[in-house]
Amino acid sequence: MRKRTIALGLAAALVAAGGGWYASLDKETRALLAAMPTDANVLSWKQDQRDAAFRAMDRLPVLAKARTFAPAPAPLALPAGKPLEIPGFDQYAAKQRLAGMVIIQDGKVRLERYGLGFDAKGRWTSFSVAKSFTSTLVGAAIKDGKIKSLDDKVSLYIPDLRGSAYDDVSVRQLLMMSSGVAWNEDYEDPNADVAKFNNAKPDPGVDATVSYLRKLPRAHPPGEVWHYNTGETNLIGVLVSSAVGKPLSAYMEEKIWQPAGMEQQGTWLLGATGHEIAGCCIQAATRDYARFGLFVLGGAGGMVPGDWFASATSKQKDIGEPGHGYGFQWWTNDDGSFAAQGIFGQGIFIDPKRKLVIASNADWTRATEGPEGEWREAFYRQVQELIDAGG
């Protein structure tokens, strides 16, 4: 199975009841949150704790702070279409531990389901689905002239990287996860970079991500080897924020959230030094994740260059799996479809040929290594085949 992993090294410390955010949760959820470990990251949480926390990440002030983006004054309507009858769907949803799914085809909602006590009004965490939002903000910054070229060196926008292994890395190579800088994203290794970088003490006056990554050595020449690296997506977020001169969440509201017609407020968790965790941690309604898919299908309303998605969502780097590749922070398929994906079953699948968007949130039994990922790939194919058959 494709290893689609992201880092979330946030402390899981929780305090006793207090404040309106806590009182607003139901009794069962409060009990689960109160029992959450105080010395573990999300990958070690128990399943019932994840069920509770994934819908409340931005309401746990001891866990993390967050910035918000306001909904659109006139949300994009999602009219109902012909119901899509999917054989075996209930069994599939149960095996996926599905919290929410919205299937939109040709602009109309053909299926909408919820589980795990979640509903259309709640916000679920994105994990690495955020990477594709961050990529789109790079496109917006290109369109705005704030990033001059994808071939610019990243140290041009983040001077604190000068003299590091990133001196020779371009924005394009960062987007394609081919910087060549050494990085260990092994979640079973407590000494891996992915386990350490969020908790490392930053250098005085330097962003926490920049502080950690600028100390890493080079493993390959820039651009040669694809290697998944969540820390570098966080770095892209710092780069965009620096280039546009405003917080990433403010740029998100301006370039994506409101133009896409989002119906609910969204939030973005912040890292230790106040930057949005660009490789993770957007909280949104499942319907608004689906609206992002529609926004991308429509070319992002002119907020990015006209040829942006043709490059961003096509294979830029081979990942060693036939039929699949990696674009600019998007997983790509040779049939022209592509996806944003996050651990524990978060995803936005987009198929331009069929005008299809499938947004889903879940709490899988394991972050990436269980069977759910393969089942989801089969489900996507099943939906494509049903649409082709006139379903």
pLDDT exceeds 80 at position 353: yes
Q: For residue 76, count other CB atoms closer than 10 A to its CB.
A: 17
**Which range, of 184-193, 275-284, 342-351, 365-374, averages the lowest pLDDT?**
184-193
Question: CA triplet 180, 279, 347: central angle to 5 degrees?
Answer: 115
When pLDDT is averaged across residues 280-305 and rounded to a whole number, the result is 97
Q: How far apart are CA 350 and CA 344, in angstroms?
A: 19
Q: What percent of the chain has pLDDT over 70?
A: 89
- Predicted local distance difference test score (pLDDT) of residue 5: 35
The CA-based diameter of the chain, rounded to the nearest angstrom, is 60
Q: Does domain 20-142+235-388 have CATH number 3.40.710.10?
A: yes
- Predicted local distance difference test score (pLDDT) of residue 234: 95
Q: What is the pLDDT of residues 59-82, one digit of tens each?
A: 876 566 899 999 999 999 999 999
When pLDDT is averaged across residues 3-25 and rounded to a whole number, the result is 42
Report whether 260 contacts 294 (CB < 8 A): yes
Q: What percent of the chain has pLDDT over 90?
A: 77
- Predicted local distance difference test score (pLDDT) of residue 32: 64
- Predicted local distance difference test score (pLDDT) of residue 200: 81
When pLDDT is averaged across residues 287-299 and rounded to a whole number, the result is 98
Q: For residue 146, count other CB atoms closer than 10 A to its CB.
A: 17
Q: How far apart are CA 384 and CA 352, in angstroms?
A: 11
With H, G, I as helix, E, B as strand and everything else as coil, classify residue 305. Answer: coil
- Predicted local distance difference test score (pLDDT) of residue 35: 64
Spans of all domains in the chain? 20-142+235-388
The pLDDT confidence band at residue 45, using thresholds 50, 70 and 90, is confident
